Homo-oligomer: A and B are copies of this chain.
């Protein structure tokens, strides 16, 4: 069952890479370009923009129309990684097996490159012409709310303010839902907004996105824990619940997300397949 998503992912990655190139092409002569390019071309899986396309494809056929919008999601993801890696936050020297941006270009350039990509994400959205103004504006509203103070940034704030010693279950759920979950949920929800589905279906899509976003981060923590790549200063599901219980929580969330998505009428099994894709990580 997971093959459907994997083949969609493989199929769409090149389109997204090309669209990312287009989004930054007019800035090629900027002294910031090498830093931006280094970060964007860091070998990300492009899961988030692909989820937006998968969500859109669950209701509509012309997936290329949604490509420019999906790029804005990846720009946000990249900015968040750059700022997360900074010495004052996670102090990560590496990212995806390469030196982190500030290690190569300096902290000042890393801060500014993050600011630039966050800004570019909105510029890119505001320039979309394949959807009407009302829809584009709704996407901007949705994105900005979910990556802001009560969304992704809020999760990161809670993360830096929390030590594993004083972390409660509630705080752990909050951090993971917001820090990672918010952007994945938004990607999926924006796919629905672009498809102009009604609010009832959109709410289900949001609930599905919430659950799989949280699961994605739990599975990432489990993976890091297995490979002894855990950051000691960070609170994680395996640290708080142990490995087996963490897997059980993830499995339950995936089962819940399956019932949600099975209650929606979709053109194909793409989103369902994503659930099985995540399930295959749990072993």
Contact = CB atoms under 8 A, between A and B. Distances in A.
B141 A126 contact: yes
Contact of A119 (B27, B107, B137, B144): B144
A interface: dominant SS: helix
Interface in A92-107: 106-107
A134 B88 CA distance: 40
A197 interface: no
Contacts of A114: 115
Interface in A121-146: 122-123, 125-127, 133-134, 136-137, 140-141, 144-145
A108 interface: yes
B127 A141 contact: yes
Q: How many copies does the complex hold?
A: 2
A148 interface: yes
A1 interface: no
A147 interface: yes
A30 B157 CA distance: 9
A167 interface: no
Given A30-B149, A36-B149, A119-B144, 8 more contacts: A30-B154, A33-B149, A89-B112, A119-B148, A119-B153, A122-B122, A123-B141, A126-B144
